[in-house]
Amino acid sequence: MPRYTQFQTPLCEVILVGNDTGITHLHLCTGEGKRAFTIQPEWRRDDAFFEDATAQVQAFMAGRQKAFHLKLNPAGTDFQKRVWAELTRIPFGELRSYTEIARGIGNEKAARAVGMANSKNPIPLIIPCHRVVGSTGALTGFAHGLAMKSKLIELEQTPNEDHA
């Protein structure tokens, strides 16, 4: 049975969903973007289950943590999972283009497919799709809105400041 928690961070409210196999979803409640998310009636709220994950997300959003050490279990196609694995290799504070991610998974011509996989990422922030930008460096696409993508990039590029 899936469990969930929800909590406020310095940037927005966050909902985490998961089970014993790992975190399956992270939703940034920004009120922007195209991603709709609903807590399902069969899910059980269990704040204690997510205590470590909540602490890590809070520390990241406050600019005090650069990496996550959590068990993840995102549902997706093999291609999507390859893209998401490549995203986790982007260092904190750095950006990559969709083409660079496509090259990283061995298919330089798959930039558009990489963009689609990014848009389906069920665990943004932890799987850092916000670190992917257009080939010109322009902010493009983020399921939780470009304003949040910009804030996350800024947070990472000035990690020692308090972003509360």
Active site residues: 129
CA distance 85 to 82: 5
Structure-block tokens of residue 66: 């650069």
Positive or negative torsion for Cα 153, 143, 121, 40 = positive
Residue with tokens 């005090």: 64
CA distance 25 to 57: 13
CA distance 139 to 63: 21
CA distance 65 to 55: 10
Structure-block tokens of residue 160: 């020692």
